[in-house]
Structure 1
Amino acid sequence: MDKLTLIANKQNSAVEINLPSSKSESNRLLIMQALANNSFRISGLSSAEDTILLQRALASTKPEVNVGMAGTAYRFLCAYFAIQEGKRVRLSGADRMHERPIGILVDALRKLGAQISYLEKEGYPPLEIVGKKLSGGELKVDASVSSQFVSALLLIAPYLSTTLKVGLSELVSKPYVDLTVSLMKRLNAEIHFKGKLITVIPSKYSSKVELEVEKDWSSAAFFYQMLALTNIPKITFVGLSENSLQGDRRLASVFESFGVKTVFTTTGVELIKGPEVQQSLTLDLTDCPDLIPSVAVTAAILCDFAEIKGVQTLRIKESDRVSALKNELDKIGVKVKELGKDTIQIIPKKEIDINLKVAFSTYNDHRMAMCLAPLAVLFNEVEIENPKVVSKSFPHFWEELEKCGVVKITS
């Protein structure tokens, strides 16, 4: 397996980072575009591996579709193929994908009339799906495992034969459902979200204008880390919006606790040094779990103590991110303590040995690779296993990190 050695040089000048487009927006828009028979155009699509895999799957005429590690694509395609009348598909993924539960979504689709079979373990991929015309109805969906199950149902709902009503319980990552609803409304779907009930009336997606995908807020997290941990005076992102539909825009307020101030401009965002770092920190990140790795790593260095709620869904991501954070932060003397299933405490070491040469594992998880990489500015040398894993969401990440003074040496 490839490894990347990172060595940091001092960077005391301003930096402009080119962020990727949002794959969350891209993937939703691609499903809607396919349902609308490509009747509208999308510009600025993400070049992330997940989005490319979804595009290939939507264009495929083969009886078997493998989406690798692309979890969002898998869940959205499960619902999409279920309404493709007469099409039979075997939908599979990487080994880790076959360990990630899909039963809640399959049960909901079956209640609408879908014909879906498990090919191996009950409740998990791979699946065989035979597309047919589906009806609406009333569903009660447990959204505590993944908001993507809800989004997958909503995306196909305008193309059901009758109205769909989805009652939600224990909704996690609500901003991602809000994103789905907002994009559907932008494409003229008739959808209403009130309290814990979502109602979708049969309609068609349409747009007279080209839709442009925003830059990705979650990818900015790793450079918020860089500003917090270094003497870089300013980092600029073009294309981020204060009024973004993306829930991970909460980065701006979260990283104030780490001394990073976000300034919104007419073209994007500028990060500068802000208030003092909060030494004791308690955060609930249930609505934006993708930010937790970056927050945990930053707190491990800058805080005396941190408690983070909302980690339950991290256990079924590309890796078990709770275990991964525990293992990797332990290598620099930082303890991660679990309080039940949904909360962790970060207990840093009083003094960190900057002469350490640290070899970090990444668990085939893009966010683990990227949240650990900024630690190169603190230690003598940092080694990152499987650096190509970043292609899942941020293919040019290492080139952007180099702008911050981090030199990469392939080994």
Structure 2
Amino acid sequence: MNIALQKGKVNSAVIAVELPSSKSISNRLLIAQALSKKTFKIIGISEAEDTRILCQALDAEHNELNIGMAGTAYRFLTAYLSLMEGEYCLKCHERMQERPIGNLVEALQKLGAEISYTGMEGYPPLKIKGQTLNGGQVELKGNVSSQFISALLLIAPYLREGIQLKIKDALVSAPYVDMTIQLMQRLNVIVRREDEQITVLSGKYATKEAIQVERDWSSAAFFYAYVALGGSAIELKGLQRNSIQGDAFCAQLFKLLGVETTQLPDCLLVELDPNFETPKEIEIDLTDTPDLIPAFIVCASQIVQRLHIKGVKTLRIKESDRVQALKNELEKLNIELIEIDDNAIRVIGQRSSVKSLIVDVYNDHRIAMAFAPLCQVVDEVLIKDSEVVKKSYPNFWEEFSKVAILMKMTS
């Protein structure tokens, strides 16, 4: 299904928007809950497709599992199933078979796991023979995916000797590892981090309190972009500045584009500063928050003349090659994205003079949502394959229709 967007006529000074629950938090808690034999309750689990797939896999009564495009679920399950007695075949979508998993598999194998590749070496699909693991010392590269580290940490309490994990190279998306550690500690597991060494003692996840999942900060970025491009003020219901999510940096990031954030009792108020002086150039390193990059780049390309961003390396192994996807789609707006190296890009921005835009989304939810706010500056934006947003934000179009005119069209 394609969706055509036009600038909406907003009848209220402030629009209230419902954000989804964080799938990052939900997925971590679901693995911990499964390991604990469901001894604690989770409130507000994400309804994202990725989380739904993980739930189904954890509850499955068969040993052949197809995880589709759910990257986090695939990595977490690789570690989890290594501990579960039985033989498992962990399948996935073709794109996932292009996303490396070798570093995680090698680390698990050093801990005693029996895992083999059924296709290309270092990539999914996998065959896993689950068994009790001793644990102990292990090294893992930090510059490929923080999810590999989180996957190991989550199972660590259930290894006989716990784990002493040494992170090699610079850690990408570090706040996601911090999130994992904070959730584990909340579930009364002993985790200690000293520089690049993380120690987890053998134990069990347990808490008498139900765990509430936070609203998702990465999903807020698309509404921040809408405001930055001249949209009305937004109330993001349930969202809190005080968050364990690294993507809460979104508020600071979009302040560079004139968006102010005010914490209210039950929401965040997001509005454009009328006195903001637009910078000609922005240079920033977003290594820690790669999920914010698509929304920020697309939005900033309409506001600043030159944009320099570091930390894009991991974007190349997401649901799509997001660097290439952004380059292709921005070119339709006569905006040049220049690849400086594999980790840095430059964008030469300008206010669009294009009257209509057709966006290819590359089966990538964040690409689809990143271009939606452009209906503020382009007469009509047509998003192809709009249903891809269900991966993280199933109700995105329903919520975005509060600020834009939506017309659903057949493919």
Q: In the alignment, what sits opposite 1:285?
A: 286
Summarize deviations over 1:289-347 as a string: whole Å, max 9, x none. 00000110011100011101100000000000000000000000000001111011010
Q: In the alignment, what sits opposite 1:153?
A: 152
Residue 241 of structure 1 aligns to which amino acid in structure 2? Q
| Alpha-carbon separation, structure 2, partners of 1:69 and 1:146 | 16
The answer on 1:383 being equivalent to 2:382 is yes
Q: In the alignment, what sits opposite 1:41?
A: 41
Comparing 374-383 with 60-69, which one deviates more in the overlay?
374-383
Post-superposition offset of 1:63: 1.9
Identity level (%): 48
Residue 332 of structure 1 aligns to which amino acid in structure 2? L
Post-superposition offset of 1:264: 1.2
Post-superposition offset of 1:71: 0.1
Matching of residues 134-283 of structure 1 within 5 Å:
134-169=133-168, 170-232=170-232, 234-274=233-273, 275-283=276-284
Residue 347 of structure 2 aligns to which amino acid in structure 1? I
Post-superposition offset of 1:10: 3.4
Matching of residues 20-35 of structure 1 within 5 Å:
20-35=20-35
Q: Gapped runs of 5+ residues in structure 2?
A: none
The answer as to whether partners of 1:8 and 1:407 remain within 8 angstroms in 2 is: no
Summarize deviations over 1:326-374 as a string: whole Å, max 9, x none. 000000000000111101101024x5214x2211100000000000111
The answer as to whether partners of 2:3 and 2:406 remain within 8 angstroms in 1 is: no
Q: In the alignment, what sits opposite 2:326?
A: 325
Q: In the alignment, what sits opposite 1:84?
A: 84
Post-superposition offset of 1:61: 1.5
The answer on 1:336 being equivalent to 2:343 is no
The answer on 1:108 being equivalent to 2:102 is no
Summarize deviations over 1:142-181 as a string: whole Å, max 9, x none. 0101000000000000000003111112210000000000
The answer as to whether partners of 1:25 and 1:213 remain within 8 angstroms in 2 is: yes
Post-superposition offset of 1:253: 0.5
- TM-score, normalised by the number of residues in structure 1: 0.97
Matching of residues 297-308 of structure 1 within 5 Å:
297-308=298-309
Instruction: Summarize the Cα distance change of 1:129–1:302 in structure 2 as closer, same or farther, 3 Å threshold.
Output: same
Matched residue SS, 1:261: strand
The answer as to whether partners of 1:176 and 1:247 remain within 8 angstroms in 2 is: yes
The answer as to whether partners of 1:11 and 1:231 remain within 8 angstroms in 2 is: no
The answer as to whether partners of 1:98 and 1:126 remain within 8 angstroms in 2 is: yes
What is the count of residue pairs matched by the alignment? Answer: 406
Q: In the alignment, what sits opposite 1:10?
A: 9
Post-superposition offset of 1:377: 1.9
Summarize deviations over 1:235-255 as a string: whole Å, max 9, x none. 001211121000000001110
The answer as to whether partners of 2:5 and 2:404 remain within 8 angstroms in 1 is: no
Summarize deviations over 1:118-139 as a string: whole Å, max 9, x none. 0010000000000011011111
| Alpha-carbon separation, structure 2, partners of 1:309 and 1:317 | 16
- TM-score, normalised by the number of residues in structure 2: 0.97
The answer as to whether partners of 1:334 and 1:346 remain within 8 angstroms in 2 is: yes
Name the Cα RMSD after superposition: 1.0
Post-superposition offset of 1:15: 0.5
Post-superposition offset of 1:410: 2.0
The answer as to whether partners of 1:16 and 1:235 remain within 8 angstroms in 2 is: yes
Post-superposition offset of 1:381: 1.3
| Alpha-carbon separation, structure 2, partners of 1:236 and 1:21 | 16
Q: In the alignment, what sits opposite 1:410?
A: 409
| Alpha-carbon separation, structure 2, partners of 1:231 and 1:64 | 47
Post-superposition offset of 1:272: 1.5
Residue 277 of structure 1 aligns to which amino acid in structure 2? T
The answer as to whether partners of 1:41 and 1:211 remain within 8 angstroms in 2 is: yes
Post-superposition offset of 1:4: 1.5
| Alpha-carbon separation, structure 2, partners of 1:49 and 1:11 | 30
Post-superposition offset of 1:406: 3.1
Matched residue SS, 2:208: coil
Q: In the alignment, what sits opposite 1:295?
A: 296
Post-superposition offset of 1:382: 1.2
| Alpha-carbon separation, structure 1, partners of 2:9 and 2:278 | 21
The answer as to whether partners of 2:82 and 2:129 remain within 8 angstroms in 1 is: yes
Q: In the alignment, what sits opposite 2:66?
A: 66
Post-superposition offset of 1:409: 2.9
